[in-house]
Structure 1
Amino acid sequence: MTVRTFANPASQTAQPILSVLIPFLRDDPQPLLDALETEAAALAGTVEVVVMDDGTGDPDLTVAIETRIATFVLPVTLLTLATNEGRSKGRNRLATAARGSSLLFLDSDMRPDTPHFLGTWADLVRCDDPAVAFGGFSLLQAPTDRRFAVHRSMAAKSECVAHDIRALTPEKYVYTSNLLVRRDVFDSEGFDAAFAGWGWEDVEWAMRVSRRYPVIHVDNPATHMGLDTVQALAGKYEQSAPNFARVIAKHPDIIQGYPSFKAARLLKRIPALSAIRPWIRRVAMFEPLPVASRAFALRLYRAALYAEAV
């Protein structure tokens, strides 16, 4: 694998306790990097950022990012991969490149919700040094376009959950978009590289880790900016079905309590479900319907896909 590495001058003298790890593919992480840079002076080199282009293949973007971060006070390293490695392998590579004792996985389409986002994470590392901590999602800064209304509705219900509620089922509400992991924990439990496409690799990781380490939830959210259309979400669910099957095989005792598993098992009893499934998708795509109805249809479509695995 050919990897181009560019480290800005601030990285040379930094002694980070926390490494922020940001993978991206065919999008521009500069708005997020700019937001993180606003905290640089207060952090004084205790937090570094390692950002990785997972095979976008855009030399102009690479140069633009390198030029931008060269002037940053925040220590930043850019890894540019010649070909795509995928979500699990890519995050494992980022962890290898990091120098901090704790790792913060942050997706490139996230935006901090407070001006002291990194500072809060760094303080938590200094004071408590948790094995695993999730900071939470919000939609505070997310786009409000009508084409994203269904995803916004679904995310508000299932992902943007208060930290005290998340703590009741700690392994369930773990996503690699605002996730703190102590290095020794990650060294013992990396992401399963056998997961392909989209979905479930972070939840499976959390299931595995929660058997050995405590998973805590804190109130330090970031906005998920990357809302999808119904068509894009349906495509991701189609990709995720084999990953869901892998989770069932690895953690049957945990996954059986999840609503997605229960719904899939119920739908499996329906005769000719495979013939009905495309019609459920069409209902979700039908724009004149109320958002709540389309969201329900899309969840039903996901469960119908997952029925093949239960």
Structure 2
Amino acid sequence: MSVTLFDNPLWDRAQPRLSVLIPFKGDDPCPLLAALGREAVAVEIIILDDGTGDPALSAAVQAVVADLPLPTRLVTLAANEGRAKGRNRLVSHARAGHFLFLDSDMAPDSAGFLSTWLGLIAQDDPAVAFGGFSLEQVEPRRDQALHRAMAAHSDCLSASERSLSPEKHVFTSNLLVRRDVFAAEGFDEGFAGWGWEDVEWGMRVARRWPIRHIDNTATHLGLDPASVIAAKYEQSAANFARVVAAHPEVVSAYPSYRAARLLRRVPLRGLWRPLIKAFALNDLAPLPSRAFAMRLYRAALYAEAV
């Protein structure tokens, strides 16, 4: 695969304590890069253009990288290679002892976001830590109302809540990993499309190392319209099956698994499943009912995998 590297003037002489790893495909990572650049700390940034194929966006990102006051490398791929493989590739360029995976549509919620991570490294040298994410900086939009409601209910949890199931709440949106841990357990490149590759990684890692949860959140700016959520769930069914096959003892405790097992017994799924989807996509329906319908639709999709 064709790979192009672009380093800013600070890259060669850097001695980072933390490597910040950011993949993107289509989303504009420039606001995130600018926010990170406001902290004068010992970190490097490695950003992966995973086959975006947008010359204007690529040029804009390169211009930001060139002027960023932190050592930064831009890795540009001619073709998309996927979420798991792309993140493994990012690690191959990292030089620090810890990696911080960030999604390109995130925004740090505090001015000392990177400093907090560096402080945790200096004090505890954690194997794995997740900082959490929020919706603090997202302006409400009607077309994103369903995603906002679902994320607020199940994803935007405090560290104490996440710690009750530490391996379940591991997402590459704001994830710290020590180098030796990732050398032993990288992302499974057998996953394709959207979903579950980070949670599956957390299941493997939790067998050998503790997973720490802290409150050092970043806002998820990239909320999706309901139709995009449904499409992602449709993509994720095969990935869910892969997780079930690898970790049945863990997944069997998840509500999504139990719901899928229950719905598997219900006949004529091909007839009623589209009706549930249609209700979830209906902007005129009550939001709590739509959220329930979307979760039910996901479980109906996953019923084929269990």
Deviations 1:216-267 (A, max 9, x none): 1011000000100110000000000000000000000000000100111111
**Residue aligning to 1:120:** 116
In 2, distance between residues paired with 1:259 and 1:69? 43
2:305 partner letter: A
1:63 partner letter: A
1:138 partner letter: S
In 2, distance between residues paired with 1:25 and 1:72? 20
Deviations 1:282-304 (A, max 9, x none): 01011111111111110000000
Cα offset, 1:143, TM superposition: 3.0
The 5 A counterparts of 1:70-149 are 70-149=66-145
Does residue 201 of structure 1 match 2:177?
A: no
Q: Which moved more, 1:224-233 or 1:66-75?
A: 66-75
Q: Percent identity?
A: 60
In 1, distance between residues paired with 2:65 and 2:228? 32
**Residue aligning to 1:294:** 290
The 5 A counterparts of 1:128-207 are 128-207=124-203
Q: Which runs of 5+ in 1 are unaligned?
A: none
Tell me if structure 2 keeps the 8 A contact 1:143–1:227.
no
1:4 partner letter: T
The 5 A counterparts of 1:19-34 are 19-34=19-34
Normalized against structure 2, the TM-score is what?
0.99
SS in 1 for 2:244: helix
**Residue aligning to 2:250:** 254
Tell me if structure 2 keeps the 8 A contact 1:111–1:225.
yes
In 2, distance between residues paired with 1:118 and 1:31? 15
In 2, distance between residues paired with 1:48 and 1:123? 16
In 1, distance between residues paired with 2:59 and 2:234? 35
**Residue aligning to 2:305:** 309
Normalized against structure 1, the TM-score is what?
0.97
In 1, distance between residues paired with 2:158 and 2:7? 37
Deviations 1:17-75 (A, max 9, x none): 10000000012100000010111x2x1xx101000000011223222222222122111
Q: Could you say what the CA RMSD is over the residues aligned between the two structures, in angstroms?
A: 0.8
Q: Which runs of 5+ in 2 are unaligned?
A: none
In 2, distance between residues paired with 1:65 and 1:25? 12
In 2, distance between residues paired with 1:253 and 1:274? 29
SS in 1 for 2:10: helix
Tell me if structure 2 keeps the 8 A contact 1:113–1:140.
yes
**Residue aligning to 1:276:** 272
* Number of corresponding residues: 306
**Residue aligning to 1:236:** 232
In 1, distance between residues paired with 2:3 and 2:100? 22
Cα offset, 1:278, TM superposition: 0.5
2:220 partner letter: H
Q: Which moved more, 1:132-141 or 1:267-276?
A: 267-276
Runs of 4 or more, structure 1, over 4 Å off, are: none
Cα offset, 1:196, TM superposition: 0.2
